[in-house]
Structure 1
Amino acid sequence: MIAYEANFDGLVGLTHNYSGLSAGNIASQKYSQQISNPKSAALQGLDKMKALANLGLVQGIIAPHMRPDTTVLRRLGFSGSDHRVLQQAAQQAPKLLTSCCSASSMWAANAATVSPSADTYDRRMHFTPANLVNNFHRAIEHQTTARILMAMFNDENHFCHHQPLPASEQLGDEGAANHSRFCGQYGDQGVEMFVFGRYGFDQHQQAPTRYPARQTYEACAAIARLHQLDPQQVVMAQQNPLLIDQGVFHNDVIAVGNQKTLFCHQYAFLHQADVYQQLQQKMGTDFSIIEVPNNVVSVDNAVSSYLFNSQLVTLPDGDSSLILPQECQQNPQIWQYVQQLLQAQVGINRVDLFDLSQSMRNGGGPACLRLRVVLTEQERQAVNPAVLLTDTLFKRLREWINLHYRDRLVEADLADPSLVLESQTALDELTYILKLGSVYDFQRV
């Protein structure tokens, strides 16, 4: 069946800030406490979406979450008006406040794991929102994420929505950032690769020692079962624990795949040769592995430039483009390799560079910002059309961002009670624009 891959990007939220909440994410730690620009961040992300749409790709939008999250703060014992809740939290538990103000839902690769209908027994697309239990500021996202996804993909004849996995350390799930799908044509049955950092119940297996491994084998296996995948079409691969300890907190920081191509670092996986063998056995002899040697691109340079946190996309003319952050061009080692990659003509035909500096300083590049969704034409018709980017929607969202977003935010601003009203006003308008209904707590009281 004919199908194509759509990218649904997370729209950066109004409280985009640098609070350094993510252990193991080097950029998040490096830029902690610096001044952020939410308006610039949102416009940068929107411009990337428009550029991909102009390349002929289907582009969608995932709405940000309501922040500050005073609902969660009240569950934690703070009471009174919103002003009073924020004031108490700032004085008594500032890390809780910054966590409840994080705009991390912008990284839509962590929103969910998605299996297309070509891979599932019931021939419906399956969604499982990630529980994100490793970090508190992300563990509070899944309920709103589930509502937004259901409002976007709301036809049960085509889409099956699962609850997040139980919120347990042994079932830590970080979504599509640790999931890749390989196929011939997008409408063909594919091979889904789940990448995990550790085993949840077997403490004797290899695991990182410095930074947490966020995805467990048990979570991957559970999602494969929930999504009704053929076990013969599934590959389980373990991240190299040494790389997690060097800042590779998700697989999409060190590898990216598309159709019959895997682009990865030499040390991306534990037992890497076995992973390659499994993929080649299931995908056939024309499966292409572009392995980047460590002596050509070091792990440190891969992490700082986000070379592998790129989008590898197939354009309508059949060319394959690597969607890169501009930091790759600014790193001499990385940019020299990219030029060699293009000259080698091994399956990546072009690169497209984007300024995503606001997102990059918080530890997320092009791949972090998008959730990949393979759609047949019937499924595309069943998607909420208001979330698919058009010239008209692009113009309207630019106006909406310019009207509602601040251009400067520091941690002290998070206790400003007017930030709550600003966010509620803006998101109420956004749900009208995107026709999402009442997905936020403040709309449901």
Structure 2
Amino acid sequence: FGDEGAANHTRLCGGYGEAGVELFVYGQVAFNDQAPAPKKYPARQTLEASQAIARLHGLDGQHTVFAQQNPNAIDAGVFHNDVIAVGNGNTLFYHDMAFLEEERVLADIRSRLTGAELEAVRVSSEEVPIEDAVASYLFNSQLLNTPDGMMLAVPGECREVASVSRYLDALVQSGGPITSVEVFDVKQSMRNGGGPACLRLRVVLSDEELKAMHRGVLLTDDLYERLTAWVKAHYRDRLSQADLADPMLLQEVRKALDELTGILGLGSIYDFQL
């Protein structure tokens, strides 16, 4: 039941407030030794784990698609689906090596998607070899809606890999749903194994829901400055084994958390604050 689910799940829809299609991508079938599976690297997501997530969340089977990731892509270093595909709204941006049964997967999504037609933006291996896709984290990006179309937020490494940079220039001129590309320096995240996709978690709120939220956690210029000062004051740049045995570290962490809840106006939420 290998599960690293968030990196292997995409929701496609006509509108954020409408019913959509839940796309679960798995690396192998755990209970079938004869099913296709990667040979070099282990598959981190199993079909059985994906099915359990869908079942426990009460998802409608008519709006759920299970797709196997191409084992050859996993062996090329694509451990999670978010390194080979990204979706937003009715758009699926993916590499031709993303899925084991590409046409079947696309057909399943199209048959279940309501309120909009699927926009499948396919990147071929001739345009971007799988090795370049992995090295640049092209698909470990964010697709964001803008008034002029969708914007693809990519890591700076995408401009350092020639094939990817050329592809991005052609993409915005193609007349497709992705109309702009913005490059961001996320080297610290990349060096720890994550690009912009690690920021993909989004909860869309109505105006009424937004007004009901606690105001202290909404980012403003002032809050950004206060949080930056808090990080500089409390974040260590290294931690040793001896530090972990020092009782003062606990006091240090509690002091930092106490200040943070004060900055955000959350009140006493930790046991040590009671």
TM-score, L = length of structure 1: 0.56
Matching of residues 49-88 of structure 1 within 5 Å: none
| Contact 2:86–2:140 (Cα < 8 Å) also in 1 | yes
1:405 is aligned to 235
Deviation at 1:381, TM superposition (A): 4.0
- CA 1:223–1:388: 2 relative to 1, 3 Å: farther
- CA 1:237–1:378: 2 relative to 1, 3 Å: farther
Unmatched 5+ stretches in structure 2: none
2:220 is aligned to 390
The one-letter code matched in structure 2 to 1:295 is E
Q: 2:159 aligns with which of 314, 329, 351?
A: 329
- CA 1:237–1:386: 2 relative to 1, 3 Å: farther
Deviation at 1:401, TM superposition (A): 1.4
Q: How many equivalent pairs are there?
A: 269
2 CA distance for matches of 1:246 and 1:421? 45
| Contact 2:63–2:113 (Cα < 8 Å) also in 1 | no
Determine if the alignment matches structure 1 residue 195 to structure 2 residue 22.
no
1:299 is aligned to 130
2 CA distance for matches of 1:190 and 1:325? 28
Deviation at 1:300, TM superposition (A): 1.1
| Contact 2:172–2:179 (Cα < 8 Å) also in 1 | yes
2 CA distance for matches of 1:339 and 1:309? 18
2 CA distance for matches of 1:245 and 1:196? 14
2 CA distance for matches of 1:299 and 1:257? 18
Q: 2:171 aligns with which of 315, 333, 341?
A: 341
Unmatched 5+ stretches in structure 1: 1-169
1:356 is aligned to 186
**Deviations 1:172-194 (CA, angstroms, capped at 9, x unpaired):** 32232111111112111111111
1 CA distance for matches of 2:225 and 2:181? 26
Determine if the alignment matches structure 1 residue 207 to structure 2 residue 34.
no
1 CA distance for matches of 2:144 and 2:222? 24
1 CA distance for matches of 2:63 and 2:111? 10
Matching of residues 66-215 of structure 1 within 5 Å: 170=1, 172-215=2-45
The one-letter code matched in structure 1 to 2:42 is P
- CA 1:430–1:343: 2 relative to 1, 3 Å: same
Deviation at 1:382, TM superposition (A): 4.5
2:256 is aligned to 426
Quick one: higher RCO (CA 8 Å, sep 6+), 1 or 2?
A: 1
1:374 is aligned to 204
1 CA distance for matches of 2:267 and 2:77? 36
SS at match of 1:212: coil
Determine if the alignment matches structure 1 residue 276 to structure 2 residue 103.
no
- CA 1:427–1:341: 2 relative to 1, 3 Å: same
**Deviations 1:148-180 (CA, angstroms, capped at 9, x unpaired):** xxxxxxxxxxxxxxxxxxxxxx2x322321111
Deviation at 1:397, TM superposition (A): 0.9
2 CA distance for matches of 1:256 and 1:308? 6
Deviation at 1:379, TM superposition (A): 3.6
1 CA distance for matches of 2:149 and 2:203? 19
1 CA distance for matches of 2:104 and 2:216? 44
Task: Tell me the C-alpha RMSD between the 2 structures.
Answer: 2.3
SS at match of 2:132: helix
The one-letter code matched in structure 2 to 1:222 is A
Deviation at 1:272, TM superposition (A): 1.1
**Deviations 1:251-270 (CA, angstroms, capped at 9, x unpaired):** 10110001111000000011
- CA 1:279–1:359: 2 relative to 1, 3 Å: same
Q: 2:64 aligns with which of 234, 256, 261?
A: 234
2 CA distance for matches of 1:339 and 1:395? 35
2:50 is aligned to 220
Deviation at 1:405, TM superposition (A): 2.4
Determine if the alignment matches structure 1 residue 310 to structure 2 residue 141.
yes
1 CA distance for matches of 2:85 and 2:126? 17
Deviation at 1:236, TM superposition (A): 0.8
2 CA distance for matches of 1:200 and 1:382? 44
Deviation at 1:323, TM superposition (A): 0.7
Deviation at 1:274, TM superposition (A): 0.6
The one-letter code matched in structure 2 to 1:399 is A
1 CA distance for matches of 2:215 and 2:38? 43
1 CA distance for matches of 2:242 and 2:75? 34
Q: 1:288 aligns with which of 103, 119, 142?
A: 119
1:155 is aligned to none
**Deviations 1:379-411 (CA, angstroms, capped at 9, x unpaired):** 4345444333222221211111122224x43xx
2 CA distance for matches of 1:396 and 1:365? 25
1 CA distance for matches of 2:113 and 2:187? 36
2 CA distance for matches of 1:252 and 1:437? 37
The one-letter code matched in structure 2 to 1:413 is S
